[in-house]
């Protein structure tokens, strides 16, 4: 489809998706979420795509959140409908079966921060700022932030951000475990590309099984999580990729994984 709020590029084996409303600080809208759902579903079905990078156009923002003018006119029914669409998008990101790396440049606030939280992990420019400022408007998170943020950085630090609405620097986000790396603005996308290609060289089946074990395991007990891991681990022994990986090890050459 033709996108109005996104740029989608395919530097295979990667897909680069860029939120493309820099004049609005890449604010999230219904249309943006709808386009993201379509782009991500296409990437999921693209056998040549192994890793996705999600970023924002310009140097000011990954996404500064939602359009407050629109939110201010919501009825309770509108708000629930908007939240349900945001939940569907973030759930798709989290459970796509392919890693999604958020490359965060500038503001990463509100719904934009919640979008990044759903990604596999996050790389940030040293100019990035993070926050959940909804409380300052008498609102709260509506894209999963109250659930994902505590799971990522712990209940206390998460509640401090959620209840004060304060912004934090990239360095503080790194200290809290909100982001995995902080780099200079000019090296953000090259770093994301390098990390993405490193993962893309692994077995797509093993990557998918690992993502599944971690995501589902976090939703259950350790005992049940171990059962999930055991099932996924054993399934890999029926794959061509595992045989190729072992053969490459013994032959002292790089493996050529085919995702089978």
Give the catalytic positions in this structure: 114, 134
Alpha carbons 96 and 15: distance in angstroms, whole number: 13
Alpha carbons 152 and 158: distance in angstroms, whole number: 8
Q: What share of the chain is helix, strand, coil (3-state, %, to 5)?
A: 55, 15, 30
Burial (Cβ within 10 Å: 0-12, 13-18, ≥19) of residue 141: buried
End-to-end CA distance of the chain: give it in Å, rounded: 29
CA dist 56 to 19, 31, 61, 103, Å? Answer: 5, 16, 6, 8
Beta bridge pairs of residue 107: 61, 129
Nearest partner of 123 among 64, 188, 32, 27, judged by Cα: 188
Contact 125, 105 (CB under 8 A): yes
């Amino acid at each position: 489809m033709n996108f109005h709020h996104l740029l989608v590029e395919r530097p295979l084996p990667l897909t680069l998706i860029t939120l493309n409303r820099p004049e609005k600080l890449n604010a999230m809208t219904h249309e943006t979420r709808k386009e993201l759902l379509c782009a991500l579903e296409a990437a999921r079905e693209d056998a040549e795509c192994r890793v996705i990078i999600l970023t924002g156009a310009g140097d000011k923002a990954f996404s500064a959140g939602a359009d407050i003018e629109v939110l201010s006119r919501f009825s309770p029914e509108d708000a629930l409908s908007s939240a349900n669409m945001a939940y569907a998008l973030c759930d798709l990101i989290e459970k796509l079966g392919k890693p999604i790396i958020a490359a965060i440049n500038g503001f990463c606030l509100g719904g934009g921060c919640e979008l990044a939280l759903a990604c596999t992990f996050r790389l940030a420019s040293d100019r990035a700022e993070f926050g959940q400022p909804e409380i300052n408007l008498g609102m709260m998170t509506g894209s999963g932030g109250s659930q994902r943020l505590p799971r990522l950085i712990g209940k206390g630090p998460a509640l401090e951000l959620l209840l004060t609405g304060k912004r934090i620097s990239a360095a503080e986000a790194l200290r809290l475990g909100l982001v995995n790396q902080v780099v200079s603005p000019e090296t953000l996308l090259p770093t994301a590309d390098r990390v993405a290609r490193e993962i893309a060289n692994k077995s797509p089946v093993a990557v998918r099984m690992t993502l599944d074990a971690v995501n589902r395991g976090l939703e259950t007990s350790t005992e049940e999580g171990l059962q999930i891991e055991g099932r996924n681990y054993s399934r890999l022994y029926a794959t061509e990729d595992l045989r190729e990986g072992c053969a490459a090890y013994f032959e002292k050459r790089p493996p050529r994984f085919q995702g089978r």
